[in-house]
A and B are shown apart, each in its own frame.
Chain A
């Protein structure tokens, strides 16, 4: 998809200006175009970039004696805290760092942003935000000077990377500016942020009358209108209000996703429950149809089935009390057991008797349970009671199937 060209709002010279950057697919090398005053050229929030004035963003170049990312991260956090630059709430949301490795060390250029975008764009939506020093090209190993309203901005580079910037917010004379620049250079060289004194000086044409002759010997002086460029920009910072809005939107999106997931689970359960009920109803109808068919198939002998419940006990000799007694008696040993009670009531058979010993009673019980004709009755015998003469009184119970 073709990306729309981005527009950069930057305060160069006196006013906020709107610049149009070349979009994707456009002719390579086409320079950014000045649209005019920012107030007249506010493009869509999706495409516009706000360049924060340099005076609002503090530059903090710090050397860390390691290249291990974890060590660098921890060292920077500690260093910022010691210097009192860590923003409120102890978060690093407002600190964006760029790292340059050199000789086993890491030069971290921390940019400490304000909490919010400056007026008149505080509360206005922008797609991306960046400090103005990172949106211009200061030139390789040079110093760039331009005005942002009443502020004079000096940006120093190491190679092509921006490593430091400072602003002068009072009307200084050229001599004072020279001293200021020299002082900054010496400080940066002393702390090894810069390897050498700036080798080139890039000036905004609006500073045409500024005479830096005699300073930075051998450094040529160039003029540039500082058109915005995205080469050094990483857009890592956002105002707190934007972050808050994004957090809320993220939270709302997550809540919505959870609600949708719950609704989906609810619907799945409801569907499963409905299907289960439907399946039961279908099974019930199927069984009813089967029963109707089976009923028709068995209708001719259904009256006999009903009557046999009453007639059967008087017709089937297997359940006759006499027949059962016959099977019981044939399991009695030749001597040693005498039956005292034989009772058949409501399909339950009870036999009581006395045996000369508990062992004989148990043998009788064992013979009963192994009898092919009596096995169906599930015989039970509690432990026989021993009588004073060592005889045993026993009771057997069985149930007709």
Chain B
């Protein structure tokens, strides 16, 4: 076979070099993506492990909370009926404390992990003392009521307040009876 000339050898070297560079480009890209993915995975796993370790150190606290939840069981959510009853309870307590309801609206329930949160948004007017008494009455541990937002605004130089409140009640999700 004929011996390749210097320019042919140079051409072959350039071609091989280009192939090598191209291969390296793909290998580096693959390596970079793999490394990034593995690093992110390791970071996420470290975070999860840290959370689990924190849970373990708080074990007595969580066991106490478990006992507390068992001692104060959640009501079962049976559709609109439970939500209406919740709205009525709130109205009753507001009336009992002399607060005037300006507006109220039952929001859509939020469902998460076997729990349902019924939400009620309303505005009331009254003296600060009345608002505080009402809040003290309803927000007792075991009632499973969560004040999601509270805005107290003084409406004059006196003691009268306008309160805009969004309150939620936690239920355990139950089976809803459906018509055939």
Contacts and interface: CB of A to CB of B under 8 A. Distances in A.
Interface of A: 273, 276-277, 280-281, 283-284, 287-288, 290-291, 294-295, 297-298, 301, 304-308, 310-311, 313-317, 320-322, 325, 338-346
Contacts of A290: 49
Contacts of A291: 45, 48-49, 52
B150 A342 contact: yes
B62 interface: yes
Given A273-B31, A287-B42, A297 B56 contact: yes
Given A310-B170, A313-B146, A321 B39 contact: no
A287 B46 contact: yes
Interface stretch (B65-73, B78-86, B96-104): B65-73
A295 B45 CA distance: 12
Given A341-B153, A344-B149, A294 B65 contact: no
B152 A341 contact: yes
Given A310-B146, A313-B146, A341-B154, 14 more contacts: A281-B38, A284-B41, A294-B56, A298-B59, A301-B59, A301-B62, A308-B65, A310-B112, A311-B69, A322-B139, A340-B154, A344-B147, A345-B148, A345-B149
13 contacts: A280-B42, A281-B38, A297-B52, A301-B66, A306-B113, A310-B113, A310-B146, A311-B74, A314-B146, A314-B168, A317-B141, A320-B147, A344-B147
B145 interface: yes
Main secondary structure of the interface of A (DSSP, over half): helix
B151 A315 contact: no
A287 B98 CA distance: 58
Given A304-B66, A322-B132, A314 B145 contact: yes
Contact of A305 (B38, B55, B143): B55
B153 A280 contact: no
Contacts of B170: 310-311, 314
Nearest to B153: A341
Interface residues of B, number: 49
B127 interface: no
Nearest to B165: A321
Contacts of B141: 314-317
A307 B55 contact: no
B113 to A, nearest CB: 5
A133 B34 CA distance: 74
Contacts of B45: 284, 287-288, 291
Q: Which of A276, A290, A314 has most chain B Cβ within 10 Å?
A: A314
B42 A343 contact: no
B151 A343 contact: yes
Contacts of B143: 314
B38 A280 contact: yes
Nearest to B27: A270
A129 B106 CA distance: 111
Given A310-B112, A346-B149, A287 B139 contact: no
Nearest to B167: A314
B153 A340 contact: yes
Nearest to A298: B55
Nearest to A296: B52
A341 B55 CA distance: 38
B40 to A, nearest CB: 10
A304 B65 contact: yes
Contacts of A301: 55, 59, 62-63, 65-66
B90 interface: no
Nearest to B162: A341
B63 A277 contact: no
B49 A294 contact: yes
Contacts of A313: 146
Contacts of B132: 322, 325
B173 to A, nearest CB: 11
A321 B143 CA distance: 16
Interface in B121-176: 132, 135-136, 139, 141-154, 168, 170
A280 B39 contact: yes
Contacts of A310: 112-113, 115, 117, 146, 170
Nearest to A313: B146
B35 interface: yes
Contacts of B151: 341-345
A317 B142 CA distance: 11
B116 to A, nearest CB: 9
A308 B56 CA distance: 16
B53 interface: yes
B136 A322 contact: yes
Contacts of B149: 343-346
B77 to A, nearest CB: 12
A328 to B, nearest CB: 11
Contact of A298 (B52, B68, B117, B154): B52
